[in-house]
Structure 1
Amino acid sequence: MSRRIPLQDLLREVRACRLCEDVLPLGPNPVLRAAESARLLIVGQAPGTKVHGTGIPWNDPSGDRLRDWLAIDRDTFYDESRIAIIPMGFCYPGRGKGGDLPPRPECAAAWHARLLELLPDLQLTLLVGQYAQRYYLPHWYGSITENVRHYADALPAGYFPLPHPSPRNTLWLRQRPWFEKEVVPELRRQVKKVLP
């Protein structure tokens, strides 16, 4: 059993984390937000270079698209008393052949359970991208497409799987018009229920 400390103390510990320091190309800069009163949790991948530089999660075109999907403005999105943002990896992991590298696995293993224990009011968790879905979903359908298509199966457990809103996924979205027609309206309904 983990030792229970106030959330603000734990957040200070996380922000001082240096577990992966020797492999992070830009050095450590853990980016996350949370308050005990948060009702919605967004679990994404890891910060990109812009987010690393500003220290503000989803402060990029991906964040703009995500806020549009949720039908919420920036003020609401960044109100940590309502929305917690805890990515799978807290620091920029570096660049690979097809984009950013996967989030460092040390973050979730070291911190997620301890953080979630201190967020008692969570009612809905958005699992953005494959890393969050593989970690949290009780059942993996074999692809992001199938996870998102079967989003209703995850709702009883409090999860809503989403594709990553990156501009790199524009083709994925264009090829799957059902996402905007069917999934986004339900996502908005679910978010409105937990953030009245």
Structure 2
Amino acid sequence: MPLPGGVPITQILFPHSPSPIPGFGAVAPMPLPAFAHMAPLPPYPLPPSEWESTIVPKYHKITFETYDGRDDPLGWLNECEQFFRGQLTREVDKVWMASYHLKGVTQQWYLVLETDIGCPSWLDFRRYCLQRFGPALNTNHLADLARLPFGSNVDAYMEAFQARAAHAGDLTMLQRAKLFTGGLPDYIRVDVEMHQP
């Protein structure tokens, strides 16, 4: 009569094996190959085109902000680039992902842009977005930076300075420091310049 849980493995009759079952004490250690003492070789790197298509991205829990066109797009575009870097986003997916996060006027703008020229590259998308929603193209950002008036406090001045410096082009750290301190009132500027920023 079979048991309700089945037959225990010790009661199953297996066919006889022609090979004897060795005992653990009788087993001789296997010789190691001649190269076993060497460190393992790293895997051969794939060419970049194959490498990009075979990697499964490691996703991080980061948010992708939306953009509605009310503010300067430079900060949002830089956040997009950080997101793409963190998520290992392929170049062909960047514009699609960014355009998905456009809202209101910016979404309508992108729809017209895509209808007119097709899907742009990420660099073109970035340039078009800055042209449409960023500061006016005829603005001399470096002159604005040099003439930036000091308001009520250093924090507000620094925030306005950084916003304009982002559009001013390539400046060295020394140039930025001199432009920054040059706009401070004398009673603050002298103290800051003594520390040689």
Q: Decide: shared fold, TM above 0.5.
A: no
Decide which structure has greater strand share.
1
TM-score (norm 1): 0.25
TM-score (norm 2): 0.25
Higher-Rg structure is 2
**Greater RCO between the two (CA within 8 Å, min separation 6)?**
1
